[in-house]
Structure 1
Amino acid sequence: MSSTSDADRSPCPLLGPQGPEGEDAEPREEKVCAVCGDRATGYHFHVMTCEGCKGFFRRSINKGIRFTCPFTQSCPITKAKRRQCQACRLQKCLDVGMRKDTHQHTFDSSFSQFTHYWPAVRLYVPSPQPQSPPEPGGPAAWPPSLQPDCLDDEVLPDVFSMLPHFADLSTFMIQQVINFAKEIPAFRSLPIDDQISLLKGATLDICQIQFNTVFNAETNAWECGQHCYTIQDGALAGFQQIYLEPLLKFHISLKKLHLHEAEYVLLQAMLLFSPDHAGITQRDFIDQFQEKVALTLKSYIDHQHPMPEGRFLYAKLLLLLTELQTLKVENTRQILHIQDLSSMTPLLSEIIS
């Protein structure tokens, strides 16, 4: 039987032209450590490395150690000589691309790269004022459907539609989620169809987790650099209170847990690698990877959140993730009923399709 190769497929709207065999694919050559040349055990801190260089890099970064090379800062780093100069070894780790902050260049918390293309649209909303009957011989009253749009500012309510702006913001955040996923080697190693299924199933949830990092619990506003959003802005975009009120409650509850940056990232990875998403073929692999992420998150919480702060913190997170699934169902329903939203942002349309 013949099959269509990945190269013959049309570009994926979510992942772009690169599939598993594209430039972001996991290399298929012999696995050797990019730092010292020893046998590699897998991707660690974004680079294929051995266990020794993985542990060295983790210890060096966690402890904030600053090494000094006693020679010319060009010491050879090999399996036999990697312990001779820690400064050059750490520099080699950085040169080949090892980093602990993978997520930081895929989520722009200051929204400095966000460009708002659509102008705010001023709406005319006629107020329900009782109409007095026209005086004999006087001008006829305007029918409600033919109210003129050139009324002065005192009559025209100062109401703007946030829908165009929301469309831009949605596209921006979806792109960041895609970039986040493509930075994870385990995600890139999956078949292209599984990558798409994971993104469709998790992107809206991951956007909410990312959005919580910029939520201000004192003002109940999302502070995104120069932009600031409230629940009222969501209403002006067309969302209903049945979704907005539980959404605000969710963000308040999540923010009260005082999560660390690493915990937000692990939450995003847990949501992404869900074996329950429709259309998954590598279900066992995804299930095992999600379990590893979940255990890592629980271990981090146990070590970084002393009692009584850490009591039941992991359980509270799991309950909030369940609540997030309910929010996603209502969010999707409302997106599908907001006129013109899907046409304004094709990426969002693809995610909810």
Structure 2
Amino acid sequence: MSSPGAELKAGLKELGGTSGASSLGLQLQTLVHSSDLLLKIQRTPKRTVHLSRRSHTSAYIDSCLDINDLVEMSSGGTHLQPHCQTLTVDDEEESEDEEPKFCGVCGDQAKGYHFNALTCEGCKGFFRRAIKRSSPLQCLFLNKCVITKNNRRSCQACRFQKCQAIGMRKEMVMSAEEVLERRIKIKRRKMRVASSQLSPQQEKEIEELLTAHRKTFDLDFSRFRGFRPIGRSINFPSDLEEYMNESCEPLCSHAEDFCAVAETSSYDFFLPCLSPSSPPSLYMQLETEQNTQSDQKITIFTSLPHFSDLVTYMIHDIIRFSKSLQVFRSLNMEDQITLLKGATFDIMQLRFNMVFDAKTCLWECGPISYFKDDVIRAGFQPFLVDKVVKFHKTLRNLGLTEEEYVIAQGISLFSPDRPGVQQRDLIDQQQETLALALKTYIDSKRSDPGKHLLFPKVLACLTEMRTMTEEYSKQVLQIQDIQPDDISPLIMEVISDS
């Protein structure tokens, strides 16, 4: 019976090698890169083939490799002929690679190389924390402490010193920004390798979102009844937009005084905010009304009562939408409230975008069409309204389908970075699942040449929407201080921090 070494030499010879094991690496590399080569690998238990370390390859084959085709190397390419040969090696080399490795810092079992040195997981984490530590480490003795597995927590200074001594490099520790960037790259890589066809689970997720959306959103707004009429007349001169533009900066400069408005008249706050260039008729009318009708309720923002009813109606539907989702219902009540308070206005903007006409800049909500001035008459400053209109134009021009809209609503709802969430991992997993579903849906359902740009554009719109919603909430609080009786408690609950 021939020895394993003789079998290996025979195998090398038949593969065309004349220089022994040293040429095996180059030949195997050539075989692997040949597009015409098909190797049939048959697994057998408890056998590991290890090609010698003295060769130019360090490949490990977790099975007995049967080469059913003899490869003949020629200048013309790689040709296959039927043949059978088995490569085997001594079990001694197999055991060498199973030898335990130990941490160079504390002697614990090492899992691999971390920051350029062979260490355990504990010392890896310690080194990362020590690098990010602001205060210096100090030894209470002579900086000569012996670091072992049992006492490695006793002296951080000597432990850190030994980390550096064995070659751990601080420049290899990533910053928080680099970690975030790496996570984003990993997520993008996962999205790139995802299948171009929707999986049954993804189809189920989309169908659940679509069903919940259709039950809770009426494009014709036929269920929106009993609301206060929209006031398109105003109680002060018709140049309201000019006033709002001119008084924007002084209004912001008096933001710290908003908290005192509830204790005084709304006019006491409003009059100092008017700049000298404000329309004289506006100033005189407000001053007159303050003196003659101080005991009466004056509606400054005439569209506000109607918009308060509209937004309250939308909030109720968004709550019903969220409660229709199985993953949302599985969260604890605290996280449900946190996610709703953070995403309600985002989802509302996505729903309003479905009825937005980018050409006329009108929100066509069934029998009522809203335009920019209606929003200004509700108390919102023109600079924010212009930003809202621009956002809706951009998003509407993407031409999203109903399915893409509802997936975007789900992505906004399951945001793991909302302050105070407890089940962060579960929420993050659900958001990633929906993001992958949106990417796959776009790839599989669309055929236009620019479809590969649609997914990042949608994500960019969602990011912009969150910034816009923060400004929107701040202005609602300002409007509530000026005209407190017309904003519903539900709206105030949604935008409150607690």
* CA distance in structure 1 between the aligned counterparts of 2:323 and 2:312, rounded to whole angstroms: 17
- Are residues 1:322 and 2:463 paired? yes
Normalized against structure 1, the TM-score is what?
0.63
Q: 2:225 matched to 1:115?
A: yes
- SS of structure 2 residue aligned to 1:101: helix
Alignment partner of 1:350 is 2:460: no
Which residue does the alignment assign to 2:236?
Answer: 125
Q: Which has the higher helix share?
A: 2
Q: Please, which runs of 5 or more residues in structure 1 have no aligned partner? A: 1-53, 63-97, 131-140, 150-158
Aligned CA distance change for structure 1 residues 295 and 342 (closer, same or farther; 3 Å): farther
**Counterpart for residue 259 of structure 1:** 400
Supply the distance in 2 between the matched residues of 1:102 and 1:341 (Cα, whole angstroms): 33
- Residue 240 (structure 1) aligned with residue 381 (structure 2): yes
Q: 1:340 aligns with which of 476, 483, 486?
A: 483
Compared with structure 1, are the counterparts of its residues 321 and 125 closer, same or farther at alpha carbon in structure 2 (3 Å cutoff)? same
Output one character per residue of 1:182-239: Cα deviation in whole Å (capped at 9) or x when no partner: 0101000110010000001100100000110001112110001011101110001010
Which runs of 5 or more residues in structure 2 are unaligned? 1-198, 239-278, 293-299
Instruction: State the distance in 1 between where 2:394 and 2:315 align.
Output: 23
Q: Give 1:109 shift.
A: 1.5
2:210–2:406 Cα contact (<8 Å) kept: no
1:180 and 2:321 are equivalent in the alignment: yes
How far the C-alpha of 1:119 sits from its partner, in A, is: 3.6
Does the CA contact (< 8 Å) of 2:228 and 2:306 recur in 1? yes
Report the Cα distance in structure 2 between the residues aligned to 1:167 and 1:295, rounded to whole angstroms: 36
Amino acid across the alignment from 2:442: I
5 Å matches for 1:26-175? 101-121=211-231, 122-126=233-237, 128=279, 144-146=287-289, 161-175=302-316
Matched, 1:310 2:451: yes
In structure 1, distance between residues paired with 2:316 and 2:225: 13
User: What percentage of aligned pairs have identical amino acids?
Assistant: 44
1:102–1:117 Cα change, 3 Å? closer
Note the alpha carbon deviations across 1:28-59, whole angstroms, 9 max, x for none.
xxxxxxxxxxxxxxxxxxxxxxxxxx96xx79
Normalized against structure 2, the TM-score is what?
A: 0.45
SS across alignment from 1:112 = coil
Amino acid at match of 2:492: S
8 A Cα contact 2:216 2:320, kept in partner: yes
Q: CA deviation at 1:113?
A: 0.5
Q: CA RMSD in A?
A: 3.1
Tell me if structure 1 keeps the 8 A contact 2:210–2:403.
Answer: no
Q: Which amino acid aligns with 2:459?
A: L
Q: 1:200 to 1:113 in 2, by over 3 A?
A: same
Aligned counterparts, 1:182-261, within 5 A: 182-261=323-402
- CA distance 1:320–1:120, shift in 2 (3 Å): closer
In 2, the alpha carbon distance for the partners of 1:270 and 1:183 equals: 15
In the alignment, residue 450 of structure 2 is paired with which amino acid? E
Which of 392, 417, 420 lines up with 1:279 in the alignment? 420
d(CA) in 1 for partners of 2:464, 2:449: 24
Q: Give the C-alpha shift of residue 101 in structure 1.
A: 2.5
User: Looking at both structures, which has the greater relative contact order when contacts are Cα pairs under 8 Å and sequence separation is at least 6?
Assistant: 1
**Alpha carbons 1:115, 1:168 under 8 Å: kept:** no
Q: Deviations over 1:294-343 (max 9, x none)?
A: 00000001112223131310011111111111111110111000033576
Cα separation, 1, equivalents of 2:345 and 2:286: 43
**Cα distance 1:178–1:146, how it changes in 2: closer, same or farther (>3 A)?**
closer
- Report how many residues are paired: 244
User: In 2, Cα distance between the equivalents of 1:226 and 1:205?
Assistant: 24
